[in-house]
Structure 1
Amino acid sequence: MTEETTQQSDEPSAGQLLKAHREQANISLESLTGPLKLSISQLQRLESDEYQTLGPITFVKGYIKNYCRELNIDSAPILAKLPAPPEPTKPANMQSFSRRTEKEAHDSRLMLVSYIILAIVIGSSAMWFWQNATPIDEQTSSINIENSILDNQQNNNTLNNESQSSAQLPATQAADNTLTETPTRVEQMPLSEAVNATAPIAANTQAAANEPDTQSNTSTITMVFNDESWVEIHDGEGERIAFGVKKAGYNMTVSGTPPFSVVLGKHDVVSVSLNGEPVDISGFPKNRLAKFKLPLAE
């Protein structure tokens, strides 16, 4: 075993063979720099077997072949002296990199799906909010007005109607008493005086018949709110008889002189009747204020 190692160490290397052939041919390094396109230091490294400083093993083999061609010697025995190339590294790192790339691609797809789902949720929420938003422009500041305003107005109208009825009742009773007492007085008067006494009564009766019936000029609006909506109503005399936000399930009845000017925030959730007759307001565009007159124009 020791003899074989000694023999191997005694054998000249590739660089030593090149240097020996050059010296035997009596050729200097300077004369080889031009044909080989190598510097003197590179040629010295080649003859000193310092291959790692000359680049990859493929380049070193090319330098040796050109070197041998200039010396007219066979390059095969010298190339055989070159050390064996190092074994290729195991692709363990490459496999790890592949796994990492695959994991990153999977994470990217997962993030993309998450962004798509998030965008769908945000878009659906925005669409739902837009569809359910009440399109009230300048009246938004009055949305929070309580229903007590309208209730107070209704109570005031009720009190006014009761006071008018109470005022009319004594006048009616007085007229009844006058009519019942008149025949008795007629019996005690001469015929001419009785005729003259009954004439003013007939004139008053005729005047009362000719007076316009104010009750017939009053109309009643009934609204049933299936959902929360804003409402404002003015009668024909310009008086506001309804105003505010009405909650779902609220039934509203107001009276006044027609024609009425009506504004509804959500007309599609309100059922409207005029003097007991239903009014069709389904033709107005949704998600917009409905402004119309009652009774509706033909």
Structure 2
Amino acid sequence: MTEPSASPSRGDSPGALLRQARQQQGVELDTLAAAIKVRPEKLAALESDRYDQLPDMAFTRALAKTLCRTLKIDAAPVLAGLPSSIDGERLEQVATGLNTPFRERAGRHETRDWGPLKRPLLWAVALLLLGAAAIVLMPAEWFRFGSGATSETPEAAATTGADPAASGVVETLITPSTPPAADTTAPAPAPATPASVPASTPAAAATPAVTADTTLVAAATSGLLVMRASAQSWVEVRNSANQVLLSRALQAGETVNLDGAPPLRATIGNAAATAVSFRGQALDLRSQARDNVARLELK
């Protein structure tokens, strides 16, 4: 049985030995180049003994060993025929490098171009220009950022004041000064008529109620619904659109006037201590209250 590749003659050059071995095995140059992942031009240069077209002799010897291993031939004759170095070409390249003018080096051009940017004065001027441009292009709203908190307060107050007008509700607080005067002056006639003390006691007790009704009737002319509390009383009033016109606790002696689209629905938590007038007419809460809580629908 014959060997797949015949031994080439020992007088041939390394490139010729590799080419003969490849051709005897029927392997194309491109196929062999793809198998060892080398460009076909480098294989052709090695087979033609054109070592000047290869990077260096270390690469050339490594490539020759790889080809011998792939083609399964003895690498000793091929490596023995390769030159140890290409002195002539290396000296020529060194001479060419020494004769190259110094100004043609790319690195010096880059250094010369970047030289002005290394000066501190130029950097300072550039930073000043950038800062001025940033101030000019900055939105005007940024300068009002510090006064935003103070400017929001009047706007919020204006918005709050406009809400009652938009919903048709006007709330007026009246703090009457008449009840304290009535309390201090009511006991004065008692010493003048000591014999009639038992008879005048109910009249003295009825005096604050009459005064409260008088105050309520006087305040009713300024609102559709008037509510006055003689003691703390929680109230809630809604209009026809179910919007809350009032929802809080009235303090003793406080009077509230409300305007809204009827029918109005009112819930009074302390009916005994609250007087209500609707359209100028006083309402009797005791007849409509349950557990001292009155729920009214006012049309």
Q: TM-score under structure 2 normalisation?
A: 0.26
Greater share of helix: 1
Instruction: Return the structure number with greater relative CO, CA threshold 8 A, min gap 6.
Output: 1
Q: TM-score under structure 1 normalisation?
A: 0.26
